């Protein structure tokens, strides 16, 4: 009987919450939000972060991570993940991909997963040293699809507001062209008649196809996110709705005799069900207890794809930042309503440009998030911007151009071919139209370099700076 009770998932969850509560009182627990849109490098980042910490005591290159530099780190190990109902982060699979021949990037995230690390270290703080020679920091990291992130702002939008936003976005000519099949399907619906379930399913699929086409074309603001990565909800009616025009909404509102199962009424209902049964539980379970946050931004791929992709990325990142809780964390806040008190903006894939362009990349990132950052800093949150590479994929060399030495990159492209190139200059601020008219760069998509078959950590750029900013003050 006692054994069965100890294995009960609800009891285990309560025990885990009690442990976390105790660690929060002592400030020995960090819940880290790794935030980024699809293909921003979240899975590679988390894989490398775990790898660096597991090897930090003996075999990692982390000179700016103070607990390592001061030789106070005793060891790091994985612990049982905090939520038994959530998948285990596939760290071993990621390492296997990176160490394969030829090496491959870890698979992109297609569901929620978690990892918990225990970081044991010698205390430096006077008060802590009086209490104990060493302490253990619990670090929880949750990985989730970038596509699902963009649903969070929908919690603040009615169906009507969402529809208005959708049709306003179609002022973009290229996006409007992609929507032609959906608009044709929408025009064939008899909105004054009772809903035809099979027709609605067909038009919902046309809308989903449109979202997939937008993603393939480089657009970043894809909503609802579950339509392109449904997970366990594939085929469920809650994913079978679509936006109607503002004119149709106004006509529906004015018609007091519309049938109870009219199309627009059904669309409103499904949208609200999506908010309440899909977005809200995801938000409550994974976004309410974060203490620290890293926002990964892939500026380079967006620059490659053009103005529409870059501007969409900028809008999406600023919109997303409104979905998190920011502010200083007192003891009471840490216990009952924690806020994010430190936030790092990180431009990923900095090894895809030459070192002389990396300061430009940081300035470009700061230009993109300037307005949102001002508001976050007003709330007392410490912020920092950096450019980094979680897993280094290129080497820097020298070449001659017009009689002058220039830095170039050497690596392997997605076809497995060795390449050497100068990818071009990175703009320091968000580009104007003249920049796009004279686009003179092509940032490569490198495959990872071959990894040594030893116990050493992966090569990186500035990951020790990231670790110090996020965890340094918790390891004193």
pLDDT digit string, tens, across residues 94-111: 999 999 989 999 998 888
> Do 344 and 464 fall into the same domain?
yes
Torsion angle defined by CA atoms of residues 171, 174, 176 and 178, in that order, rounded to the nearest 10 degrees: -160
Q: Is the pLDDT higher at 462 or at 28?
A: 462
What percent of the chain shows pLDDT beyond 90? 57
Predicted local distance difference test score (pLDDT) of residue 147: 87
Mean pLDDT of 187-213: 92
Contact 369, 429 (CB under 8 A): no
Name which of 314, 328, 323, 320 is nearest 366 in CA terms.
314
According to DSSP, the residues that pair with 79 across neighbouring strands are 116
pLDDT at residue 328, as a whole number: 63
The whole-number average pLDDT for the span 59-79 is 93
- Spatial separation of the C-alpha atoms in residues 453 and 467, rounded to whole Å: 25
430 lies in the same domain as 461: no
Residue 170: CA atoms inside 13 Å, Cβ hemisphere, count? 18
* Cα–Cα distance measured from residue 121 to residue 43, given in angstroms and rounded to the nearest whole number: 26
Question: Is 356 found in the same domain as 308?
Answer: yes
**What is the model's pLDDT at position 333?**
45
Task: Give this prediction's pTM.
Answer: 0.86
Residues 6+ apart with CB under 8 A from 422: 354, 399, 401, 406, 407, 408, 409
Q: Is pLDDT above 60 for 418?
A: yes
Same structural domain for residues 459 and 327?
yes
| Residue 373 scores a pLDDT above 90 | no
Residue 24: what pLDDT?
A: 45
**Residue 330 banded pLDDT, cuts 50, 70, 90:** very low
Residue 51 to residues 92, 109, 113, 186: CA-CA distances in angstroms? Answer: 10, 18, 17, 50
Interior angle at CA 340, CA 388 and CA 157, nearest 5: 100
How sure is the predictor about 454, in pLDDT bands with cuts at 50, 70 and 90? low
pLDDT surpasses 60 at 302: yes
Q: Which of 254, 283, 312 is the last residue of a domain?
A: 283
Contact 354, 408 (CB under 8 A): yes
For the chain, the C-alpha Rg in angstroms (whole number) is: 24
State which of 239, 261, 283 marks the end of a domain: 283
Answer whether residue 49 shows pLDDT above 90.
yes
Strands (E), 244-357: 292-297, 342-347
% of the chain surpassing 70 pLDDT: 88
Sorted by sequence, the CB contacts under 8 Å of residue 335 that are 6+ apart come out as 21, 24, 25
Taking residues 301-325, what's their average pLDDT?
87
Whether residues 156 and 278 share a domain: the answer is yes
Does residue 417 lie within any of the structural domains?
Answer: yes
Confidence of residue 7 (pLDDT cuts 50, 70, 90): low
Same domain, 157 and 189: yes
Residue 7 forms part of a structural domain? no
Range of the structural domain that residue 426 is part of: 395-437
> Please, which pLDDT band fits residue 453 given cuts at 50, 70 and 90?
low
- Residue 392: pLDDT over 80: yes
Highest mean pLDDT among 226-235, 430-439, 446-455: 226-235
What's the total number of domains in the chain? 3
Measure the CA–CA gap between 81 and 87, rounded to whole angstroms: 9
Assess if residue 317 is contained within a domain: yes
């Amino acid at each position: 009987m006692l054994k069965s009770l100890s294995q009960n998932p609800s009891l285990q969850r309560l025990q885990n919450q009690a442990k976390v509560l105790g660690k929060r009182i002592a400030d020995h627990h960090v819940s880290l939000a790794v935030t980024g849109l699809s293909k921003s490098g979240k899975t590679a980042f988390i894989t490398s972060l775990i790898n660096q910490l597991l090897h930090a005591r003996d075999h990692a290159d982390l000179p700016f991570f103070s607990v390592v530099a001061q030789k106070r780190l005793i060891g790091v190990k994985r612990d049982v993940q905090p939520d038994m109902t959530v998948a285990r982060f596939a760290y071993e699979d990621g390492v296997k991909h990176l160490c394969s021949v030829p090496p491959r990037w870890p698979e992109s995230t297609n569901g929620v997963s978690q990892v918990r690390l225990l970081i044991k270290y010698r205390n430096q703080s006077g008060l802590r040293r009086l209490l104990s020679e060493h302490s253990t920091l619990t670090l929880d990291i949750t990985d989730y699809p970038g596509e699902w992130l963009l649903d969070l702002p929908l919690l603040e939008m009615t169906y009507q507001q969402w529809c208005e936003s959708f049709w306003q976005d179609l002022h973009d000519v290229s996006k409007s062209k992609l929507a032609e099949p959906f608009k044709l399907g929408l025009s064939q619906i008899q909105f004054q008649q009772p809903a035809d379930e099979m027709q609605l399913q067909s038009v919902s699929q046309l809308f989903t196809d449109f979202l997939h086409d937008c993603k393939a074309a480089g657009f970043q603001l894809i909503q609802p996110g579950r339509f392109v990565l449904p997970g366990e909800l594939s085929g469920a009616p809650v994913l079978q709705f679509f936006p109607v025009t503002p004119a149709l909404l106004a006509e529906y509102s004015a018609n007091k005799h519309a049938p109870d199962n009219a199309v627009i009424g059904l669309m409103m209902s499904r949208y609200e069900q999506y908010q309440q049964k899909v977005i809200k539980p995801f938000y409550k379970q994974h976004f309410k207890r974060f203490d620290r946050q890293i926002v990964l931004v892939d500026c380079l791929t967006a620059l490659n794809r053009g103005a529409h992709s870059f501007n969409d990325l900028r809008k999406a990142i600023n919109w997303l930042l409104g979905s998190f809780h920011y502010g200083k964390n007192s003891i009471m806040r840490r216990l009952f309503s924690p806020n994010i008190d430190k936030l790092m903006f990180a431009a990923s894939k900095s090894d895809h440009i030459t070192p002389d362009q990396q300061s430009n990349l940081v300035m470009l990132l700061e230009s993109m998030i300037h307005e949102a950052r001002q508001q976050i800093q007003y709330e007392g949150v410490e912020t920092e911007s950096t450019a980094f590479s979680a897993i280094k994929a290129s080497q820097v060399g020298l070449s001659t151009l017009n009689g002058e030495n220039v830095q170039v990159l050497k690596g392997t492209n997605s076809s497995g071919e060795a390449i050497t190139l100068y990818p071009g200059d990175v703009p320091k601020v968000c580009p104007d139209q003249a920049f796009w008219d004279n686009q003179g760069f092509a940032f490569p998509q490198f495959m990872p370099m071959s990894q040594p078959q030893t116990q050493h950590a992966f090569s990186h750029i500035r990951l020790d700076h990231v670790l110090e900013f996020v965890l340094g003050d918790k390891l004193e």
